[in-house]
């Protein structure tokens, strides 16, 4: 009973007038409590928390969520003083401030080599993923779409414990043998923003945004024909694992996705019995013990559940990758061999390449229209009008014209709506320097297209020169829409927006892990939401084309379900290893993959191990497996405290042994990365210890091939691995030596290579990155 009185005491403290959690400066915190200290009078931790609160006579801070599976504790609105007081109590392990996350916003199965007619491929071997459940943590789902039909599916797997939470707009019958569960979590959202506006959002699992419906159908949508968006991308739509079951966990609302809700979704999904969790959401990179996504994901992989997360859309800059915990599979985005050209023809005859999926009434063929640049309109402030922000355009200056708008601040589709409201006939969106040449096709509300940075410069130059000329010729243009084009070369290309490494939290772990299709992806879309996402867009379509690492992530989630179905004994780390070591780094011309933003060759910092290759991943030969205890050793070698480690793993750690055994780079990861600080030493060296498990042929011999980074010497011992049986593990050591290079203070030099184990049939490939850093 002693702890009951302690708990009663600290809740009274929190509810006292001097530290009221309802004050204007309160925030949501996630509180980690020692679950073993629960008094025996309470059958569950939930009873413990709620009974303690109910016994109070004054109003305590209301608990938002309690957590019982991947984490033990609760979330509540607290002042910073409350949070500080909690840390002084012996059974409170940690107090984590909430972070607000944001979304990382068909032909892709065929591009990946997944064909339903193959009799010996991954789809056939896995029975299309029929007995596995993919949990999608996102904006909910529109269950009536044919992508979620349950025709031909067997009974719901017996292990499934999930529920379909019914509401006024989401009947229990919305779930079926395909959509086996649907829940929503809004406590954190409402604790910060007040009660939701149910005229604009659904208090149910129903999707009022579109993002969750789209990502769910990418991972496990059924075969649907015909499928298209406004006439574009006509054909068959299908997810990666067409027979896998889906469970939707809605955590994202109008103002974002709140950590307390995300952690509740992880907690519930794991208890429900999902096999894969797909998360196309991210935020600022923080230490793992302060990262609710990293904590929830560890609890999932600890139960054998694969977690796939989007890398983020902060590219093409370095250090932009998010969701970097090594127990998650982090997915960047690449292109596929399909695009939607919509070129700009200028009055001087020049053609500027662009893309669009506009499907409404077009511009008159052969006619040229007056062209203006928002940033040079008379009476505007230049900056706002260049971006075509609300209230920045003068209708008298844009009416009947095509308007050039710079990309940034507001959404691309919103710019089009603003131009249309002010009387514009068409729009061209020009990338800025940072965006480079990467193009994203949008379902605009007026004839519009997007062009690269160089194309934007050329259009601005033409407008400026024409305006200065003394002739009566004013700048003109039109947009030529060419529909859908297939067989594009080169493909894949690393998408410009795809977030890049190095890993900001642990540079010794290369992130992203892989890339997958994420540009202009066709997938299911809700009713009542226009394809542009603009509120005034009254068009309706069953499918939509979106881009982002949000779209790449569910490709890998679906592939993980297929691999898990084909290899039920594989761990989450083994599945990720198979995807990484079989990934490819060349395009459909046989050349090194390009970076869309620059047109230059891309690097491992852009794509990690490469682009996923599902067919090869089914038979990788060797895998780099990792246990939860290996991750604990990794955290020890990352100099995390015992309290930090318990917060993430719910386990006590003996870090003395872990630190004697190795360093942070010795986590049994399928890639190798080392950072050398140049403190005046002319020669530097390190070593990596790895263990591989044979999942190929019983009697097999693998020999090493080394492609060392420039300026380094790399050796591997032994040079040959001889396996006698499937499941056998063998270890090897990689030694890396390099010499100092001249660098200015704060500068870095990155060189990459590869280590390949080959048995003559399979190549088990791992990138090797050596970074030299000159201290400030």
d(CA 593, CA 610): 9
| Catalytic position from the list 130, 550, 597, 638 | 550
Considering only CA atoms, which of 311, 366, 356 is closest in space to residue 333?
Answer: 311
**Contact indicator for 125, 561 with CB cutoff of 8 Å:** no
Q: Burial code of 478-512, b = ≥16 C-beta within 10 A, e = fewer?
A: bbebeebeeeeebbbbbbbbbbbbbbbbbbbbbbb
Distances (CA, A) of 104 to 182, 409, 505, 546: 21, 16, 20, 11
**Residue 604 half-sphere exposure toward CB, CA atoms < 13 A:** 26
Structure tokens at 397: 């200056």
Kindly give the residue spans of alpha helices, DSSP state H, lying in 469-566.
549-566
**Rg for the chain, CA atoms, rounded:** 27
d(CA 305, CA 275): 5
3-state secondary structure 59-126: CCCCEEEEECCCCCEEEEEECHHHHHHHHCCCCEEEEEECCEEEECCCCHHHHCCCCCCCCCCHHHHC
Query: Residue 1's pLDDT is what?
Result: 33
Give bridge partners of residue 278 from the DSSP assignment. Answer: 136, 308
Considering only CA atoms, which of 608, 612, 617 is closest in space to residue 564?
Answer: 617
d(CA 704, CA 707): 10
597: left (phi over 0), alpha (psi -120 to 50) or beta: alpha
Blockwise average pLDDT, block size 10, the chain, 776 residues: 33 34 70 75 62 46 87 88 80 91 65 53 58 96 97 95 94 96 97 94 96 97 91 90 96 96 98 98 95 98 98 94 98 96 96 94 91 84 89 93 94 94 96 89 95 96 83 86 94 96 97 97 93 90 94 97 96 98 97 95 97 96 97 95 95 84 91 92 92 97 98 98 98 97 93 97 98 91
End-to-end distance of the chain based on CA atoms, in angstroms? 56
d(CA 574, CA 727): 12
pTM: 0.91
* Residue 307 burial (C-beta neighbours within 10 Å; 0-12, 13-18, 19+): buried
Centre a 10 Å sphere on the Cβ of residue 45 and count the other Cβ atoms it contains: 17
Query: Residue 382's pLDDT is what?
Result: 81
* Residue 742 burial (C-beta neighbours within 10 Å; 0-12, 13-18, 19+): exposed
Q: Active site includes 550? A: yes
d(CA 384, CA 398): 15
* Residue 454 burial (C-beta neighbours within 10 Å; 0-12, 13-18, 19+): middle
| Catalytic position from the list 32, 104, 211, 214 | 211
Domains plus CATH for the chain?
Answer: 27-97 (3.30.70.80), 108-330+493-583 (3.40.50.200), 341-483 (3.50.30.30), 622-626+668-774 (2.60.40.2310)
What interhelical angle do 211-220 and 549-566 show, nearest 10?
Answer: 30
Structure tokens at 154: 């067997």
Q: Active site includes 18? A: no
Give bridge partners of residue 752 from the DSSP assignment. Answer: 769
Q: Could you tell me where the beta strands, DSSP code E, fall in 300-425?
A: 306-310, 329-334, 338-339, 342-346, 351-352, 354-355, 369-373, 402-406
Q: Burial code of 134-166, b = ≥16 C-beta within 10 A, e = fewer?
A: bbbbbbbbbbebbbbbbeebeebeeebebebbe
| Catalytic position from the list 72, 82, 131, 138 | 138
By DSSP bridging, strand 245-250 and strand 133-138 are: parallel
Tell me how far the alpha carbon of residue 604 is from its chain's centroid: 18
DSSP letter at 360?
S
Residues 6+ apart with CB under 8 A from 641: none
Distances (CA, A) of 96 to 28, 48, 77, 527: 9, 21, 12, 38
Centre a 10 Å sphere on the Cβ of residue 394 and count the other Cβ atoms it contains: 15
d(CA 387, CA 410): 8
d(CA 147, CA 128): 14
Q: Active site includes 394? A: no
Distances (CA, A) of 30 to 33, 73, 75: 10, 7, 4
**Contact indicator for 221, 239 with CB cutoff of 8 Å:** yes
Structure tokens at 574: 């083994």
Structure tokens at 279: 């998360």
Sequential DSSP letters for 281-305 = EE-----GGG-HHHHHHHHHHTTT-
**Contact indicator for 96, 290 with CB cutoff of 8 Å:** yes
């Amino acid at each position: 009973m002693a702890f009951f009185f302690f708990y009663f005491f600290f809740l009274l403290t929190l509810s006292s007038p001097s530290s009221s959690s309802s004050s204007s400066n309160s925030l949501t915190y996630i509180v980690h409590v020692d679950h073993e200290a629960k008094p025996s009078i309470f059958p569950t931790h939930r009873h413990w928390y709620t009974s303690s609160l109910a016994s109070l006579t004054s109003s305590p801070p209301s608990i938002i969520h309690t957590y019982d599976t991947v984490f033990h504790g609760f979330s509540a609105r607290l002042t910073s003083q409350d949070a500080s007081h909690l840390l002084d109590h012996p059974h409170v392990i940690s107090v984590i401030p909430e972070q607000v996350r944001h979304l990382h916003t068909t032909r892709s199965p065929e591009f990946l080599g997944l064909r339903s007619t193959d009799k010996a491929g991954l789809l056939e071997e896995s029975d299309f993923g029929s007995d596995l459940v993919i949990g999608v943590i996102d904006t909910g789902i529109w269950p009536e779409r044919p992508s979620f039909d349950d025709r031909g599916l067997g009974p719901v797997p017996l292990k499934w414990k999930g529920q379909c939470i019914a509401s006024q707009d989401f009947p229990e019958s919305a779930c079926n043998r395909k959509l086996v569960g649907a829940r929503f979590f809004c406590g954190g959202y409402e604790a910060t923003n007040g009660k939701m506006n149910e005229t604009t959002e659904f208090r149910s699992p129903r999707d009022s945004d579109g993002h969750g419906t789209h990502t769910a159908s990418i991972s496990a949508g059924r075969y649907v024909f015909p499928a298209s968006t406004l006439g574009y991308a006509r054909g068959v739509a299908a997810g990666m694992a067409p027979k896998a079951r889906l469970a939707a966990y809605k955590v994202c609302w109008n103002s974002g996705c709140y950590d307390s809700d995300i952690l509740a979704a992880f907690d519930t999904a794991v208890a429900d019995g999902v096999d894969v969790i797909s998360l196309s959401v991210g935020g600022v990179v923080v230490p793992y013990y302060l990262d609710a996504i990293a904590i929830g994901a560890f609890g999932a992989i600890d139960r054998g559940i694969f977690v796939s997360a989007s890398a983020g859309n902060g590219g093409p800059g370095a250090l932009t990758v998010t969701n970097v915990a090594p127990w998650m599979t982090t997915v960047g985005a690449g292109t596929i061999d399909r695009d939607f050209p919509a070129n700009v023809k200028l009055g001087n005859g020049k053609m500027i390449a662009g893309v669009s999926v506009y499907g409404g009434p077009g511009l008159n063929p052969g006619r040229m229209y007056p062209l203006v640049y928002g940033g040079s309109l008379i009476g505007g402030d230049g900056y706002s009008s260049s971006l075509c922000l609300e209230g920045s355009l003068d209708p008298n200056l844009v009416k009947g014209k095509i308007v050039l708008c710079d990309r940034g601040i507001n959404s691309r589709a919103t710019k089009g709506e603003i131009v249309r409201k002010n009387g514009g006939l068409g729009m061209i969106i020009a990338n800025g320097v940072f965006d480079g040449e990467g193009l994203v096709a949008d379902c605009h509300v007026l004839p519009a297209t997007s062009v690269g940075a160089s194309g934007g410069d050329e259009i601005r130059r033409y407008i400026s020169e024409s305006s200065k000329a003394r002739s009566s010729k004013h700048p003109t243009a039109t947009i030529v829409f060419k529909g859908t084009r297939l067989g594009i070369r080169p493909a894949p290309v690393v998408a410009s927006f795809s977030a890049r490494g190095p890993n900001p939290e642990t540079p010794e772990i290369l992130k992203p892990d892989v890339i997958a299709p994420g540009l202009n992806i066709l997938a299911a879309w809700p009713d009542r939401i226009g394809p542009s996402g603009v509120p005034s867009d009254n068009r309706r379509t069953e499918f939509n084309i979106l881009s982002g690492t949000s779209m790449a992530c569910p490709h890998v989630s679906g592939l993980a379900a297929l691999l898990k179905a084909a290899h039920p004994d594989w761990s989450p780390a083994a599945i990720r290893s198979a995807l990484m070591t079989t990934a490819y780094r060349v395009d459909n011309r046989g050349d090194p993959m390009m970076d869309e933003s620059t047109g230059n060759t891309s690097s491992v910092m852009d794509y990690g191990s490469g682009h996923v290759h599902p067919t090869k991943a089914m038979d990788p030969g060797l895998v780099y497996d990792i246990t939860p205890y290996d991750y604990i050793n990794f955290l020890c070698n990352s100099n995390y405290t015992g309290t930090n480690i318990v917060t993430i793993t719910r386990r006590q750690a003996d870090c003395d042994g872990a630190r004697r055994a190795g360093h942070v780079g010795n986590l049994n990861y399928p890639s190798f990365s080392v950072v050398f600080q140049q403190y005046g030493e002319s020669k530097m060296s390190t070593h990596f210890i790895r263990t591989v498990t044979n999942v190929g042929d019983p009697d097999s011999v693998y020999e090493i091939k080394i492609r060392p980074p420039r300026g380094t010497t790399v050796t591997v011992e032994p040079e040959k691995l001889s396996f006698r049986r499937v499941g056998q593990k063998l270890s090897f050591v990689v030694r890396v030596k390099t010499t100092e290079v001249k660098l200015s203070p704060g500068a870095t030099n990155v060189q990459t290579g590869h280590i390949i184990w080959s048995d003559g049939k399979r190549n088990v490939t791992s990138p090797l990155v050596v970074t030299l850093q000159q201290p400030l």
